[in-house]
Chain A
Amino acid sequence: KAGVTQTPRYLIKTRGQQVTLSCSPISGHRSVSWYQQTPGQGLQFLFEYFSETQRNKGNFPGRFSGRQFSNSRSEMNVSTLELGDSALYLCASSFFSEAYNEQFFGPGTRLTVL
C-alpha cells in the first residue's frame, strides 16, 4: 500500500509570494492533518481536515489555509510568505480523526523563503 505522498519535496520562494503544497493520503484514509516543523518551535499542528471539512485548527495566522477534496487529497496554502515560514511542512493521514487512529506521516515539503 502506498504511503502518504507530498509534493513538491522542496520549494524556494521569496517574501510576499504565496505557495500551495499538496498531500495525497494513504488510500482509504479520510483524515488529513498538516504540521509545521522548525528548529526553534518544533513540530506544530496547523489544521486537520476530515471529509472535506476542517475539524481542528492550530494557532497559526489566517495566511495559512487549507482544503480537502472529495478524494481526500489535501492542499495547504500560505499567502504573503515571511522569512519565518521557512520550515518542513508535514502531512499526516488516518482513517478517522479520533484519538484511537494512528496518523501516518509523509516525507514533508521543505519550504525555504528568501
Chain B
Amino acid sequence: DAKTTQPPSMDCAEGRAANLPCNHSTISGNEYVYWYRQIHSQGPQYIIHGLKNNETNEMASLIITEDRKSSTLILPHATLRDTAVYYCIVRAVKLSFGAGTTVTVRA
C-alpha cells in the first residue's frame, strides 16, 4: 500500500471549514483514498473514501487531485466534537494507518 504524508497537527475555529491535506504521490491505480478519524480511546470512525472523483457525504467532502497524488478532506462546519486524529489512507486491500493529523477545534 502507498504511504501518505499528513501534517502532524492543525487547529480550526468552531464553525469554520477545516481543510486537511494529504499527499500520496506513490498511489497506484487500484488504490482508494480513505479517511478515518479516531477520537481518544475509541475505534476509528469511517468518514469517506474515493478513487478519482470528488466525493461528498453527510460528514465531509473529499477532493482528489486529477493526478491522484494528493487529496483534501473538508469538514464544512467544524464543531468541538470534530476534535480527533484524522487518518488519510490509501488502500488496495488492508488499511495501513500512518500517524495522522491531530485536529483541535477551538471555540
**A97→B43 contact, CB < 8 A:** no
With contacts A99-B31, A100-B32 taken as known, whether A105 is within 8 angstroms of B94 at the C-beta atoms is no
Q: A103 is contacted by which of B41, B46, B98 (Cβ under 8 Å)?
A: B46
The residues in A between 39 and 88 inclusive whose CB is less than 8 angstroms from any CB of B are 42-45, 48, 55-56, 58, 88
Q: How far is the CB of B64 from chain A (nearest CB, A)?
A: 14
Q: Tell me, yes or no, whether B107 is within 8 Å of chain A by CB.
A: no
Q: Mark B26-63, 1 if CB is under 8 A from A, else 0.
A: 00001110101000011111100101000000000000
Q: B44 is contacted by which of A43, A48, A56 (Cβ under 8 Å)?
A: A43
Q: How far is the CB of A23 from chain B (nearest CB, A)?
A: 11
**A102→B46 contact, CB < 8 A:** yes
Contacts of B43 in A (CB 8 A): 4, 90, 92, 105-108
**A33→B98 contact, CB < 8 A:** no
**A56→B46 contact, CB < 8 A:** no
**Within the assembled complex, what's the spacing in Å between the Cα atoms of A4 and B32?**
23
Q: A42 is contacted by which of B45, B51, B93, B99 (Cβ under 8 Å)?
A: B99
- What are 28 A-B pairs with beta-carbon distances under 8 A? A4-B43, A33-B94, A33-B95, A42-B97, A42-B98, A43-B87, A43-B95, A43-B97, A45-B94, A45-B96, A48-B93, A48-B94, A55-B93, A56-B94, A92-B43, A92-B44, A92-B95, A98-B93, A99-B32, A99-B92, A100-B32, A103-B46, A104-B46, A105-B45, A106-B43, A107-B42, A108-B41, A108-B42
Interfacial residues, chain B to chain A (CB-CB below 8 A): 30-32, 34, 36, 41-46, 49, 51, 87, 91-99
